Structure 1
Amino acid sequence: MARAVLIDLKSEGTAPWKGGAPESVARILEVVRKASSSQDPWVCVMWCQSLPSKRNGEEVLHAAVQGLHCPERSLEVVCARSTVAALYAVKQKLDEKDISQVQVLSPPRRKAFMRAFVDQLFTGIYQFEFDDLQVDLEASDLEQPPGSLSEVLPPLTGQDVGRIQREIKMYLESLPALKGELRILRSVLIPDHLFLHGFTTRTGGISYIPTLSSLNLFSSSKRRDPPVVVQENLRRLAVAAGFDPQAYHSIKVNHASDVWVMGKAQPESYDGIVTDQAGVAIAAPGADCIPLLFADPVRKACGAAHSGWQGTLLGVSMATVGAMVAEYGCRVEDIRVVLGPSVGPCCFTLPQESAKQFHRTDPKCVRHLESAKPSVDIRRATRVLLEAGGILPQNIQDDSVMDPLQNLTLCTSCHPDQFYSHVRDGENFGTQIGFIAIRD
């Protein structure tokens, strides 16, 4: 398995060497080469310098560090003005090389800070090992007297951690949007003067990994996009859409039909949310599964649901409708339902036994039933179940819309420039959402 060694050549608030440093750097690299458990690790030297230095010694070291850059020998140098900028650049290189195991060599005074930055910028898919950066350097090479770098240091305070978090937040906010401007798809079926709503596309965020770029709105320990990046993407969406990111709630998917009535005890997982509280944004994620939005302009209530093929069969769409009726006195005939971008029957197949369940719902939901993996239309099945539950046909917006400008239920797999898709991209896929809020 590919492995990286990250050498941190900057101690907190000062440089660890005064001058005469090229030989010191060379000795450090030799130690790394000998100590590494991997025969040929990728080695990255990280140099942080907040402001251009006028000290000759530090300029010499900076030049020496930059002179080490040699990608063809798996040795690269990252120079930046802050730890977060340098470490984020290192992360991009690790992701490009698909490396998850990293040994960090850092001055003892800085190791706790590096751990705190790593905790924020990386997910559980990475494995970090932290070691002290110590070699036999002559006393003249050190800012501190020999031995002082090994002293036992107190842990970071809450104030320290808060400062690191603010530094990361400010840095991420400064990054340019990728893949173009942020774009939101909206339905004419949901009254704009009563509800704020939309379906996101993949443009306008800062996620850089190809299958996650750029407005990825979900993070997990199994993917490479950390929560801080997703939070920044959400902040940008909130600014563009007009909702408060602090009053935002996304479904905790379990591919079933449980619905959380906001204001009541929150389940550990659920595929639907309903609310009648103004100013609260609720959201359904999707990356092939259908994000469904529900709006009742009479009772001023709304809902969101995540409907994968299992949730569709289990009736999550009508479970959400049922919760709105039971909790807020909505009438089924007043509720409007919009199906967002999702995988179409052109790209979605299931094993024959699972496809037969959709065939029983409506034979037109399945193509080539006799094959081992028939094509399945989960959108049509959703419409059939909604109409059977009393939702008026004209109050459902899906891919049956004739006007292409009004069709929001595009195939996520067929439109890689606009949407994420698990079917198309595999396990490290991004996520878009459908969101809705009652206007204040």
Structure 2
Amino acid sequence: MPAGDPQGRAECVGKMGDFDVRIQAPLFSNAGATHGYSPDPDDKHKAADPSLLERACADASFLRGIIIGVIDDIEKFVASHGVEVGGGVAAVAIGGGVGLAAMFPAFLAFLFILKKILDALDKDDRFGEFMEHIKNELLDPDEPDPVKRAAGLFIWQMIVFQAFKDQQSEHDYDAISYAMMDRHDYLNVSCDVNLDSVEVFFDAVDDRLIAFVDALIAYEIMQEFKGLAFAGYASLRFMGPTRALLGMQKHEVTCAVEVACLKDVSGGQQVVDYASTFARKPNINGLLHWGQHNDYTMADVEHRFGDSVDASGGTLGTWRAALSRITDNGRLDGFSNDFTRRTGLEVVRPKIQEFTVDRHTVSTGDTITLKWNCLSNPPDSRVSILFSRPTAGPSLINTVPLVGQHQIQVTEPGTHVVNFSVMRTLNGIHRQNSRTAFITVS
């Protein structure tokens, strides 16, 4: 490490300010007040200027630069009859653009539209809102001319490429730890607003990973011809296994596919929803990130981690047993919520702490007393008593508290049966614990 301050310190810390009573520490001028740190490619000891996307996220008026650049690329491309190819045109054409010469008239028509959009640009618009307006002009599903539709799609892809190309570049540099790890853009007031994201985990050598990515691409291609489009990113990252019982990294090498969208652009939410729905299919069996968009049902979780009503155990069974120990088998339900109940991250098997019958041999006309304690259970657990006589039909008592007692008079000789049960029903699945007592009446 060279002498002096390490890279990133001055940019992320800045000058010390006044002591702040609330945090009981001094404030620093740049802490939580800058773009994410990146080094200048021409001088690694200096910070790079904000990228175009970072500036656009801080102030939507910077999108003007993106549109002007796209207009300039297309004008030069058309004027040169396809000889002068700018970076945006080249990047999209490599991705499959064909027959561009046939689109020249449509390109010129869209240039006029883009210039009108520039004139109407409102600096108070969020980045996503502005992109939605552009998309609606370029991807008109009712446009009858296929060449014009293809030209609009081509220009849309150019704009998206220019907006996000800095996010695709390599980041290989040295800096102080917090400058490396805290990549949050604290000046972003436009892009990290109205978002959604889903992350799906696969065994890195599973063919279903490739099938999943291919399905996402096919879905986006399909919806772009319906006037919808995804604005955001999809990334793949690889990691080793986790020791967590319900961790997503279940495999020796796990690959996570993260899909994040700007919800202001119609089409983004549809891709995230599709990714979640497709991942949950049993034949795909992707694992969803617990802290992002997660549509798991209890059946989904039990399919992936075990402990279904028909086959108890698995890592979910171990996790639920640990939850039972620290919550008095669910009685302490302070952390129970709609999400944990929907996904089955709950104590699901009720327990009977105590059940007694005061006498097992009595005479006709006597009264027996049942006592029970089932307090150590989730509050929505229910107790029932089924009393069967030798000749009469059984009687059911199901409006009893979790702890209490009940008296029954026996009126005929023979063997009487008491079935005592505590049940919890979660997501339509019933699990119960039962005890049976036999009473002999002479």
Give the TM bin, normalised by the shorter chain.
under 0.3
Structure with higher Rg: it is 2
The structure, 1 or 2, with the larger RCO (C-alpha pairs under 8 Å, 6+ apart) is: 1
Q: TM-score, structure 1 length as denominator?
A: 0.27
